[in-house]
Amino acid sequence: MSRIFWESTFGRRCQVASLWLVLGLLTLQCRRLPGVAYAAGPHAEPVVVRPAGATRALLIRATLLLPHQVLAPGELLLDAQGRIACVGPDCSAHPAAQGATVIEAPGSVVSPGLLNAHDHLPFDHLRPRPVTERYTNRHQWRMGLDGHAKLVIVPDSTPARLVWSELRQLVVGTTSIVGGAPGPGLLRNLDRVDHRLGLTQPTVQYLVFPLWDKPTGPRLNDCGYPLFTRAPALPPTGPVGNLVAHVGEGTDAATTNEFRCLAGLLPGSYQALPDGSVLIHAMALARSDAQWLAAHRMSVVWAPHSNLALYGQTAPVLRYDSLGINLLLGTDWALTGSATLPEELRYAAAYNQARLHSHFTDQQLWQMVTRNAAQGLGLAGQLGELTVGAWADVVLYDGRGCATPYQAVLRARPATTQLVLRAGQPLYGDARLLRRLPASRGRSQPLRIGRGGPRKRVCLDPEVPVTLQELRRANRTAIALDPTPPAPAF
């Protein structure tokens, strides 16, 4: 067995003039490149081997995406408590491997479960709509200010809607989300203490209006926001790194003003962003502002799809990356952003190639939804990495024909997502796998997504208050589980 170290070369190999063509190529079946030692072989379909007296442990043999390298072939051992017990070329000597069910998957790529660092789940049933004008701050489209058209949008937080939106994310490998409202079961809702499904770290503090300015709108050249005029000027408290807040969404001076007041850089303000916070969007920031972020160990959630649709611009991610600022990726919402995290990854990859001269490798984009996300959200060592002791939130993707194993994640669709585990428990995957895994026997039910491809099954948690049939009936007008993405807005 050997370790193969990969570097993404997709951006250097594919030089095309049309951005739409780029996005189209990323959604097609991956093609194997000459000379690349990444081949599935003739027996590529995953096979479950269940020994007599099998325990609840699971041993997966496949290509493993580790934090900084690819291990091919590799072994991943998940114990009966839902944790990762061993990662390496050979886990057979580990005590938990004795009696473990084995998944032989030579054509599969194993990734940590994806973390969606920013979404608005109550709006994710809404189908994408064309944006016919460009805004310069978020108050213009939500309040109809400065002569702009107001976007009339109606949220829906009923369980059937929220669970459906979470299911759409789950079937492509997302296992955790910061989404503003929990759907019972399925995903770990990192911003809700009662929906994090076993995590013991402090709950993420998710703020859409950190300046308390929802009813008042933007300001310019002062910090007269309700946060500072109505609240005592106390130093920030709470666990470091757990604040996730919308900051700097837009392109104008009023948007910059928001950030500088929250950072305590203008008169009449104080630092309301604890060191180690996560800023969603962070678009209208100058270089000096970015240097402040770096000095205070801030992370930034990049949402290029929605940013470009609404504002025609996105965050200065090259500047942030040059300063060592931790970058995460989020879908924002399906209305103007992406319906799934792999869709957002493909959009980011296309933008990266067309506008950023392929600055980010496939590996770096993948890290934005795994390791980087876990670090920014205060969950390093628990989620986002295939490492011993972490929760066994694990996804198997069909990697056959991919130029690099990271592309198995970037091009993921429900049909190519072979197995999704949360804390070692199967939630979704190929029917022939779920029928054979001890933990899913008697729990799974058929799930039809699109036409063709492998048969799929899903395991709905006991907490889910609706049946699969009720979900389908309630979401006939909502976005499908495998939607066709809209054309790029740039």
> Quick one: pLDDT band at residue 43, thresholds 50, 70, 90?
low
**Same-domain pairing of 305 and 407:** no
φ and ψ of 293, to 5 deg: -60, -45
Tokens 């107001």 -> residue: 150
| Average predicted confidence (pLDDT) for the chain | 88
Total domains in the chain come to 2
Give the residue-averaged pLDDT of 253-273: 95
Query: Pick the residue with more confidence: 487 or 186?
Result: 186
Last residue of a domain, one of 324, 351, 376: 376
What's the confidence (pLDDT) of residue 30?
56
Pairing of strands 394-398, 326-329: unpaired
* One-letter amino acid for residue 466 of the chain: V
Residues 62, 73: Cα–Cα separation, whole Å? 6
**DSSP E strand boundaries for 95-186:** 101-112, 114-116, 174-177
| Residues 230-249 pLDDT 10s | 755 444 444 444 899 999 99
SS3 at position 73: strand
What pLDDT sits at residue 197? Answer: 73
- Residues 220 and 339 both lie in one domain: yes
User: What is the residue range of 269's domain?
Assistant: 115-376
Residue 337 shares a structural domain with residue 404: no
Q: Is the residue at 89 inside a domain?
A: yes
Cα separation, 175 vs 421, whole angstroms: 8
Same domain, 363 and 427: no
What is the CA 173 to chain-centroid distance, rounded?
9
pLDDT at position 37:
39
Q: What is the pLDDT of residue 36?
A: 31
- Residue 357's CB is within 10 A of a number of other CB atoms, namely 9
Global confidence as pTM: 0.90
> What is the torsional sign of CA 48, 49, 51, 54?
negative
Which one of 345, 376, 407 terminates a domain? 376
Q: Is residue 480 domain-resident? A: no
pLDDT band of residue 59 (cuts 50, 70, 90) is: very high
CB 197 within 8 A of CB 423: yes
pLDDT score of 112: 99
Q: Which two tokens stand for residue 461?
A: 């948690």
Instruction: Report yes or no on 247 lying in a domain.
Output: yes
**Which structure tokens are listed for 166?**
């979470």
Note the pLDDT of residue 259: 97
Q: Which residue has the tokens 């992370």?
A: 299
CATH code of 396's domain: 2.30.40.10
pLDDT of amino acid 207: 93
Q: Give the pLDDT mean for 51-56.
A: 90
pLDDT the model gives residue 18: 39
Res. 488 pLDDT band, cuts 50 70 90: low
What does residue 196 show for φ and ψ, rounded to 5 degrees? -100, 0
Average pLDDT over residues 97-124: 97
| 462 pLDDT more than 90 | no
Residue 304 lies in a domain: yes
Q: What is the pLDDT of residue 231?
A: 58
Q: Is the domain of 75 the same as that of 172? A: no
- 489 pLDDT exceeds 70? no
Alpha helical stretches, state H, 369-459:
371-376, 407-410, 431-434
Do 92 and 178 have their domain in common?
A: no
Residues 123 and 90 in one domain: no
The pLDDT of residue 311 is 97
Three-point CA angle 9, 13, 19, nearest 5°? 105
Whether 186 and 163 have beta carbons less than 8 Å apart is answered as yes
Average the pLDDT over 318-345 and give the result: 98
